[in-house]
Structure 1
């Protein structure tokens, strides 16, 4: 049995961050990744970066084949960089195999041709998440059914694409493939489009997607899929039938814990399979930590990296970060134009008892919209009427994914909305919209 100061299961961005910080202090670290095509994690290989390359190139009117090649080239380069950074680190042993728990502090690694047992006082779990599939008849047997990872590998663009699920992933892929020229149909089981978002903004997003000739089917629950010659037949609960060249299942993701054999430990998981942690991301087992998607909740790379920094500070004695002190988390959906939000919607704020002021500013009302020749979208703000603190913003339009971070910093520091209203900014830029958005 080999002994280490620390073992990290999963080679994502959080794992790399922890490994870098621990080895700088001369900790001997074992880093385990079961798939050589996933060095660097989901963001590098199948998520943030490759999908945003496709989105960028689709927006730039580049062909699907050229965009796919660039996506693959950049992904391979980044993956190789991640691998090399750990391979060259004299304090890291990189294992390409499946790691699972034998006991609270002993890990078994299946390397294919042999098994290794590793032991460490500190263990970090960064195994991410995996696609979650709904109970649809024929889903496993039918050819032409893909998750978001698999769809990106198709050498040819599907002329007709069905997407089951209108969450973040479904919306991004709908926008990307429609811009490439696919005829996209989006299936949402609920009666509202983007039900958790501001109604005015959700309606604007829906109109823009429909202008891209994306068909949005609401209250449309997929019940059965099957093959008809080389196509996929999709049937819905209301007896609707559709034919597609490919179907993307984008119905969410779940913590990737199935192979970890957590039952052999004292680690506790919640009802959705997420590993439960305390304020320092420590599990029920002392010195065993979980970070990122495997905890459940937010599934963003920047959360994983922030988790890693919190854990490293705690383990290395700094201990000035706590999960409970993490402030407003923004998120973006990279449709075209982009959507972003941080904080509460108007209805959420009212349910929490706030007296609120709200305002809407249209992108078409800015000088910047004339320059970029794009008037689509609107921004909405919700503020506390009594304290003037910003409770939340929902942004849809040019630069939404960037500008949401400015508002997040204002919210974190309790800066009143009047500060953004009165700011003098350069011209002509999209951030000028805050002068009117916060003019309440």
Structure 2
């Protein structure tokens, strides 16, 4: 690595760390004011945002990137309005910093409590979605963290424009603009160097494809919060309301197939296969979904001439592990709830899984036994999102078993420290010996 690249990385970290004490001392009013200024300025400069985004979209097309990736990249008025809404929503949320979550008194009179404090400097690495820039920055601002943003090269103009707007608004509001740092150089060596900075970077959060996340996890010396992929499952039980099932499965696959909370595996109880699956296959086929079916479900499609237009092929073992991020859905027939849970345990990624059933006991068993970050009863997996959960936004969705699991929002960007209030208490009442105290000058 060149000395220039190393110096660039170190400068970004030093600027972020330099404002940490100021950040933790900010009152909520200043933070909210800064967020609302950001929203106002983003509205005023939406044409500038779209112009810069258009450069990225053209570049992505020239690279031959997939339509799904280009869809993630686009910033139209609707998505700009969505980012503005995120900023306003985060401003409305309670400030977690300084919250005492528990306090108790010991027999010796010591009062022991736990207080929420910021994580510190957060390094977020992400790919094509420039709206992540605003989501990450807004949550870090409200939780008094400094953030170092590193988006993909395909979105560099969009991200640079958004960061410019965010920093300008922060400056106007009296919020330290250096709390938002942006890596505007393409060298990957900068990322690897930042990931080595133990004690300077407090946590890294990668958002993107499995290869990116694995590369970050394998090269980092700093803590990493991650999810490798979103292989989400929906199980349609033999006691399901099939009308609900048609709409839920359609929404989870078709509404936006290129995101990590879209369903990838449809699991169907054998007893309802003949009644449910022909109609479900018809609906999905009309939406252009390709089905990768096990032997039983494929037979249902091939034996029904009304489904001749549906693209259905035999599923391979690896299809059930796959995060398609496209209009592709793998199908598996099972004979029981237990078999469905076993399937999810084997092939799922512990992201988001759902059961469709009207049986309360089965629903509760599914909730208890499926070990995923988000588990649903009679609802689409597409709701696994910080904003949809009422959290304002999210830094990502963690499938790790650490302090943060599922959508990471304000509380997950803080950690608790112990605070102890005393009045001279001593361990085992051992103080300075009396004879020494008498001899004090």
Q: Which has the higher strand share?
A: 1
TM-score by length of 2: 0.25
Q: Which has the higher helix share?
A: 2
Name the structure, 1 or 2, with higher relative contact order (CA <8 Å, separation 6+).
2
TM-score by length of 1: 0.25
